[in-house]
Structure formats: structure tokens, C-alpha cells
Amino acid sequence: MKRTLIFTGIGIGFAFIILFVFNKIVSKKNSPDSFATVKKGEFEIAISATGELIAENSIDINGPDFSSRRFVRSRSIRIQDLIPEGTVVRKGDYIATLDRSELDNSLKDQTEQLVTLYTNLEMKKLDTAVVQSSLRDDIKNQEFIVSEAAMTLRNSKYEAPPIIRQAEITLDKSKRVLEQKRRIYNLNVAQNKTDIANQELFISRIERRAEDLKEILAGFTITAPDRGMVIYKREWNGTKRKVGSSINPFDRVVATLPDLTSMISRTYVNEIDESKIKPGQKVNITIDAFPTKSFTGSVLNVANIGEILSNSNDKVFEVRIKVNESDPLLRPSMTTGNKIIMKLVPDAVYIPTECVHAGLDSIPFVYTKNRKKQIVLLGQANEKNIIVEKGLSPGTKVYLNNPENIEKFKLAGEELIPVIKERIEARMAEAEKHTGKVRKDI
């Protein structure tokens, strides 16, 4: 396992050699007239990656704010209708309609409940008025009884003591009954006041809830907050928010109005290349939709944390590239070709990568027109060419593929073999060191 990891590290370090040269030993032979000339000049080391245009700044088109409405704040609202993406709108133009069915049903229930509550409240007030009127009549009648008992007591002052005593008892009893009826009446008034107040409070809550629903539903027809081009919002998984998608109180964005004057190309690079990309590096940008147009840009930032895209198992890092130019043709979601220039090597000697061959010992060489099998010390590479640090001079003609009668070519450049092997060993040591660090971290 350790040996495998080490050779993996070496393979990464020498990818520009192994990927282009090892299979040349068994490649088919081409015409001896297929030559390339060793060149000298500025050598561009770059990474190419496909990206997607997004606006650096945009205005969100939001649905109604119902996060403070406790009875709806946990609900998701479905987008029922949405104008086509790319439509240019003015401020106030129609954008979308949200599904009203659930809240319409809730409003209907609240309205029906209010009708019932109002009816019950009126019945309660009528019943209370009838009962209290009867209690007041009872009190009035009892007051007459008390008056009669008092009169009887006054008229019996010349009667026998037992009769006087009976009149006194009758008056006292009628007074107690009167006091009891008055207490009952006062308790009934207080109780009914409380009941009616509670019912009115509950009704006011239902009324406020109904008004809130009406206010929210009024915002279910969404209009543009400003002029611009409508772009659908992307969900966390990369899909676009469209008809049938839902919004919620914590993410109310239905669509966006991007600022098309400032664009970003969002791309992803693998973890091997991520460390080579730095903010500020220049980028050449092409647009798939307009092959004849080209733009320039610079690396804005590189993500610190990798991620795994849904259509890949490889870990990648997001890179954002600022497009320097502004063009009305540029639109969000357009596919871009990004050539990130990591380094420019002045006065480099270089050849096409297909000129380089290697044997099982990984020693690179080329076949020259003057019939030499020339060992070369290689440097950095780009997509098409590779730097030759030692072994070739500018202007030399080298074969692009294996020539005929390769056994007749004279070996040259053996003095470079120790240097090449030393570099290989250094790469192996670095790879082993890196492997040990990874294992320690694990």
C-alpha cells in the first residue's frame, strides 16, 4: 500500500511526462517527415477549466414575508406560475404567482369561524340581557316583599309579643333573600362581562389572523422590484427554482435580477491544481455561445474547502473569476472556457509533448532529425508543450512520433541521466513524506 501511494505521488509529480510519453514506445510509426522544431520564447503554464457565468451582484425577487406570522411561518409555499427565464422586465411588471389554495382555505375557515363567533356572541348578549332582566325583576319583587314585611312589623307594635316576634323574623328573612338576589345579580353581571370580553378577545385574534392572511395573500402576486433580466434562482443542489418549487419563510427568493455589467465565471478545479491557483492570476475567457469573442479576467478567490459535485466522485474546489469586460451578450448560466495563466516562463526552450518518449526506466528522450536518441531534462508543461531544460537547442528538428529504424539512432545525453534520477528520487522522497503526513493526520 505504501509503495502504491509513493508511486502515485511520483505519478502526480511527473504527470506531464508519464501521460504523454510512456506509451510512445509502442505507438505506430509515422512518416519520417513528421518533425517539430525546438522553439525558444515565452512559455505559458496554464490550467483550463469549464465554467458558468453568474452575476457578481443581483437583486432578489422575494415572496411575501410571513416569518413573523406564527400560524404560517413554518409552511412552504409552492410557486404556481413564473415567467420564462431571461425575460426582460421593468419595475412593477408581473413575475410570478404563488399557490394560494392552502391559505385561501385557511382564510375561508377563519371567515366561517368569525361568522359563528359573531352569532354566538350576539346570542350570549341576548341571553345575558334576558337573564339579567329576570334577576332585576326578582330583586324588585323582593324589595316589595321587604316593604310589606316592614309595614306589618310597624302595625303589630300593639300586638302580643309572639306576633311582634314573628313579624320581625319575617322582615329579617325577606331582607336576607333580597341581599342574596342582589349578590346573584352582581355575580351574573360580572361573569357575563368576563365571558363576553373573552369571546370578543378571541374574535379579535381571529380577525387579526384573517387580516394577516389577506395581507399575505395580497403578496402572492409578485412583481419586479426593479428593471432587469429575470434569472431563476439555483437551489442548494444546483437545480433551478421554477414552477412547482417551493419557498419558505427563511428563503423567500423566487428569482433574481442580476447586474449584467459585472459578471463572474464560476468554475471548479481538482485538488491537485487548487494549490497552484492564486487570486489575481490572469485568465483568458471564451464563451461557448460566441466562439469568435474572447474576454480577459482575473482569479477573484479560491475556495478553502473542497466539495464533491453531484455528477462526480472527485473532490474539487470552486474558483471565481472576475470578467474584466462588460458586454450585453453576456448572460448568466452561459458556459465559459477559462484558461488560468499560472506562470509565464521567459526564454524557455520547449517542444510539443508528443515528441517526448520514455522507456521503463522513465528516462525521457527524443529522436532528432540528425539520427540521435537524445536524452532530455524536462521542466514544466502545459496542455501542448513541455520545457526542455537541457539536451536540446532552439531550431533542432525532432520527430513527432517514433521514426523508422530506431535501433540505428545513436544515444546522446547520457550525462543527464544522474540528474534525472536524482530528481526522480527527490520526487519519491517528497511523495513518501507527504504520504506519511497524510497517514499521521488520519
- Per-residue pLDDT, 308: 83
- Per-residue pLDDT, 27: 44
Class of domain 104-214: mainly alpha
The three cell numbers of residue 410 are: 545513436
Residue 131 contacts residue 185 (beta carbons within 8 Å):
no
- Per-residue pLDDT, 69: 59
Residue 248 contacts residue 76 (beta carbons within 8 Å):
yes
Please state, in angstroms and rounded to a whole number, the distance separating the CA atoms of residues 193 and 41. Answer: 98
Condensed to tens digits (0 to 9), the pLDDT of residues 161-197 reads 888 899 889 989 999 999 999 999 999 999 999 999 9
- Per-residue pLDDT, 436: 55
Q: Which long-range contacts (CB under 8 A, 24 or more apart) does 358-365 make?
A: 358/17, 358/18, 358/21, 358/22, 358/24, 358/25, 359/25, 362/14, 362/17, 362/18, 362/22, 362/424, 363/417, 363/420, 363/421, 364/17, 364/21, 364/420, 365/413
Please state, in angstroms and rounded to a whole number, the distance separating the CA atoms of residues 58 and 264. Answer: 12
Q: Which residue, chain included where needed, has cell 520514455? A: 358
CATH level 2 (architecture), domain 13-41+346-441: Beta Barrel (2.40)
- Per-residue pLDDT, 94: 94
Is beta strand 58-62 parallel, antiparallel or unpaired with respect to 253-258?
antiparallel
Rg (CA), the chain: 46
- 231 CB burial (10 A radius; 0-12, 13-18, 19+): buried
Please state, in angstroms and rounded to a whole number, the distance separating the CA atoms of residues 51 and 406. Answer: 44
Q: Which residue, chain included where needed, has cell 450585453? A: 328
CATH of 50-55+261-342, one of 3.40.50.1100, 2.40.30.170, 3.40.50.720, 3.40.50.880: 2.40.30.170
φ, ψ of residue 63 in degrees (nearest 5): -80, 180
How far is CA 156 from each of CA 65, 165, 170, 176, 314, rounded to the nearest angstrom? 82, 9, 12, 21, 115
Amino acid found at 101: S
- Per-residue pLDDT, 81: 94
Is beta strand 410-412 parallel, antiparallel or unpaired with respect to 372-375?
parallel
Residue 33 contacts residue 367 (beta carbons within 8 Å):
no
- Per-residue pLDDT, 25: 41
**Alpha helical stretches, state H, 226-293:** 271-274
Please state, in angstroms and rounded to a whole number, the distance separating the CA atoms of residues 141 and 146. Answer: 9
Class of domain 59-98+220-256: mainly beta
Longest dimension (CA), the chain: 165
3-state secondary structure of 225: coil
Spans in the chain with pLDDT lower than 50? 1-32, 437-442
Q: Where are the domains of the chain?
A: 13-41+346-441, 50-55+261-342, 59-98+220-256, 104-214
- 103 CB burial (10 A radius; 0-12, 13-18, 19+): buried
